[in-house]
């Protein structure tokens, strides 16, 4: 369990509560195309409303780089949040975020009301964790709540700096839930514990591999990163994605897995294409036998079976990274097969955020997973065993 004070440990009646959420949602023409992060923030907001707090929400959105950019205003989030909450969320339009408008809006609040501040990254100090903006944010509130798991790997004013200038800084329910699920899976897993890693590059997952290899019973490596392992073992990989600087690393990991008695599963066959496109000609070949001019785009049918069988026997599964170029329908089969296998198992299934979370949701298996993280970078850093600054900054129990 997370050893941080939470919204259950404080009394917010009549108090101004600043809540840092991660409302960094995809927007197309002002329309929110994935509202999972808004839905995930509701339990904390509802609890604070029910307890009679004056709820002041804040978040970043995209990367406006310290300047007000109308297309990155949080105004559409206030509208959708009002609908989801069934209660008005007033938007404190203010290019300075904590300027005269926002201050006046906060002063006028009644108990149980909710307002949303403008995009914290309209201020250049935000991403530098500057003292002045941290103090301004702190001056708005009596109590600070951090529920922004997706941003917990950043040390910015609105999630870290602000905590230095408030007496009480606690975490919300989403933060608790994320850390409890990810933490339990990694540190106290019911066994067999299987980790599935995929995605494009070995280099971006090195620390995850190193942290998890000490903890798992089975490590499955698919996706673009598997071809570096295949080449290291002497296989022919054609024009597949490969990081030649990591060939020795791949061999070291294979050796380490063997020494530790960890089963490390690599693809035994691949779907290959003669072009990096959904119109490519395709064929299935054994791993290590990819002809020149062709590249590995997805895991093959025999690999699907091996990976899915490993998942079927598991009690805990953590998945980060797709098995192939799933954005192209022709090469989404492997990722879909793994998602389906996770949906069918009785194991505790945890999906690291980012592409794997998007894939699981798009394929319609979202409600079959035990937990889908709202943080891509944050869950990756957690799986690397790093302390997340946003969590560390909250008051200890």
Ligand X SMILES: Nc1ncnc2c1ncn2[C@@H]1O[C@H](COP(=O)(O)OP(=O)(O)O)[C@@H](O)[C@H]1O
Ligand Y SMILES: O=C(OP(=O)(O)O)[C@H](O)COP(=O)(O)O
> Which of 6, 1, 128, 10 minimizes the C-alpha distance to 394?
6
Cα distance between residue 275 and residue 296, in whole Å: 10
20 is catalytic: no
Cα distance between residue 338 and residue 318, in whole Å: 12
Task: Report the 3 state secondary structure along 326-388.
Answer: CCCHHHCHHHHHHHHHHHHCCCEEEECCHHHHHHHHHCCCHHHCCEECCCHHHHHHHHCCCCC
Q: Which is nearer to ligand Y, 33 or 281 (CB)?
A: 33
Residue 336 in contact with ligand Y, rule: CB under 6 A: no
Instruction: Compute, in degrees rounded to 10, the torsion defined by CA atoms 94, 80, 376, 368.
Output: 170
Residue 379 in contact with ligand X, rule: CB under 6 A: no
Of 238, 354, 375, 376, which is the active-site residue?
354
Which span sits near ligand Y by CB under 6 A: 79-87, 147-155, 174-182, 292-300? 147-155
User: Which residue among 34, 210, 327, 384 contacts ligand X (CB under 6 A)?
Assistant: 327
Contacts for 188 with CB less than 8 Å, ≥ 6 apart: none
Cα distance between residue 298 and residue 317, in whole Å: 21
Which span sits near ligand X by CB under 6 A: 34-42, 242-250, 284-292, 318-326? 318-326
Contact of 397 with 3, CB cutoff 8 Å: yes
Ligand-binding annotation for 37, yes or no, is: yes
Which span sits near ligand Y by CB under 6 A: 43-51, 197-205, 304-312, 372-380? 372-380
Token couple for 182: 């990810």
Which span sits near ligand Y by CB under 6 A: 26-34, 69-77, 364-372, 373-381? 373-381
Residue 375 in contact with ligand X, rule: CB under 6 A: no
Near ligand X in 223-242, by CB under 6 A: 223-224, 241
Cα distance between residue 91 and residue 77, in whole Å: 9
Peptide bond into 326 cis (omega under 30): no
Residue 325 in contact with ligand X, rule: CB under 6 A: yes
Which span sits near ligand Y by CB under 6 A: 93-101, 148-156, 210-218, 327-335? 148-156
CA 43 to chain centre: 19
User: Which residue among 76, 95, 130, 377 contacts ligand Y (CB under 6 A)?
Assistant: 377
Residue 22 in contact with ligand Y, rule: CB under 6 A: yes
Of 15, 37, 47, 231, which is the active-site residue?
37
Ligand-binding annotation for 295, yes or no, is: no
Near ligand Y in 63-82, by CB under 6 A: 63
80 is catalytic: no
Choose from ligand Y, ligand X, none: what does 63 bind? Cβ within 5-8 Å by kind.
ligand Y
Q: Determine whether 68 is exposed, middle or buried from the number of CB atoms within 10 Å of its CB (0-12, 13-18, 19+).
A: middle
Cα distance between residue 261 and residue 45, in whole Å: 46
Ligand-binding annotation for 80, yes or no, is: no
Q: Determine whether 12 is exposed, middle or buried from the number of CB atoms within 10 Å of its CB (0-12, 13-18, 19+).
A: buried
201 is catalytic: yes
Cα distance between residue 324 and residue 306, in whole Å: 16
Token couple for 135: 């103090």
Token couple for 97: 């975020």
User: Which residue among 20, 123, 154, 371 contacts ligand Y (CB under 6 A)?
Assistant: 154
377 is catalytic: yes
Give the residue numbers annotated as catalytic, written as ranges. 37, 201, 354, 377
Annotated binding site for substrate: which residue ranges?
22-24, 37, 60-63, 121, 154
Annotated binding site for (2R)-3-phosphoglycerate: which residue ranges?
37, 121, 154
Annotated binding site: which residue ranges?
22-24, 37, 60-63, 121, 154, 205, 296, 327, 353-356
Using CB under 6 A as the criterion, which residues of the chain lie in contact with ligand X when the complex forms? 199-201, 204, 223-224, 241, 296-297, 320-322, 324-325, 327, 354-356, 376
Using CB under 6 A as the criterion, which residues of the chain lie in contact with ligand Y when the complex forms? 22, 24, 63, 150-151, 154, 353-354, 375-377
């Amino acid at each position: 369990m997370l050893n941080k004070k939470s919204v259950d440990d404080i009394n917010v009646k009549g108090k101004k509560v600043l809540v840092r959420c991660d409302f960094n949602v995809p927007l197309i023409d002002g329309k929110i195309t994935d509202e999972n992060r808004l839905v995930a923030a509701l339990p904390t907001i509802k609890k604070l409303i029910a307890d009679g707090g004056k709820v002041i929400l804040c978040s970043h959105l995209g990367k406006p780089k310290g300047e007000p950019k109308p297309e990155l205003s949080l105004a559409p989030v206030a509208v959708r949040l009002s609908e989801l909450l069934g209660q008005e969320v007033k938007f404190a339009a203010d290019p300075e975020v904590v300027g005269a408008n926002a201050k006046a809006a906060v002063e006028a609040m009644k108990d149980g009301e909710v307002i949303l501040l403008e995009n914290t990254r309209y201020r250049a100090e935000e991403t530098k964790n500057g003292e002045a903006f941290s103090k301004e944010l702190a001056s708005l509130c009596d109590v600070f709540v951090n529920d922004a798991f997706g941003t917990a790997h950043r040390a910015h004013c609105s999630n870290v700096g602000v905590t230095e200038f408030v007496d009480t800084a606690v975490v919300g329910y989403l933060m608790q839930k994320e850390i409890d699920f990810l933490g339990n899976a990694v540190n106290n897993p019911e066994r067999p514990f299987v980790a599935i890693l995929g995605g494009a590059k070995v280099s971006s997952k090195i620390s995850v591999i190193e942290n998890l290899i000490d903890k798992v019973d089975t490590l499955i490596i698919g996706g673009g990163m598997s071809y570096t392992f295949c080449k290291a073992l002497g296989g022919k990989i054609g024009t597949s994605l490969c990081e030649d600087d990591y060939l020795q690393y791949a061999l070291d990991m294979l050796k380490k897995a063997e020494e530790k008695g960890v089963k490390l599963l690599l693809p035994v066959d691949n779907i290959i294409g003669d072009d990096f496109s959904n119109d490519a000609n395709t064929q299935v070949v054994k791993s290590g036998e990819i002809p020149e001019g062709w590249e590995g785009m997805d895991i093959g049918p025999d690999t699907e079976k091996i990976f899915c069988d490993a998942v079927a026997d598991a009690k805990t599964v953590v998945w980060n990274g797709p098995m192939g170029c799933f954005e192209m329908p022709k090469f989404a089969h492997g990722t879909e097969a793994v998602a389906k296998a996770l949906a069918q198992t009785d194991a505790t299934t945890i999906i690291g955020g980012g592409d794997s979370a998007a894939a699981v949701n798009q394929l319609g298996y979202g409600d079959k997973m035990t937990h889908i993280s709202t943080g891509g970078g944050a869950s990756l850093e957690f799986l690397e065993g790093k302390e997340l600054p946003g969590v560390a900054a909250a008051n200890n129990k």
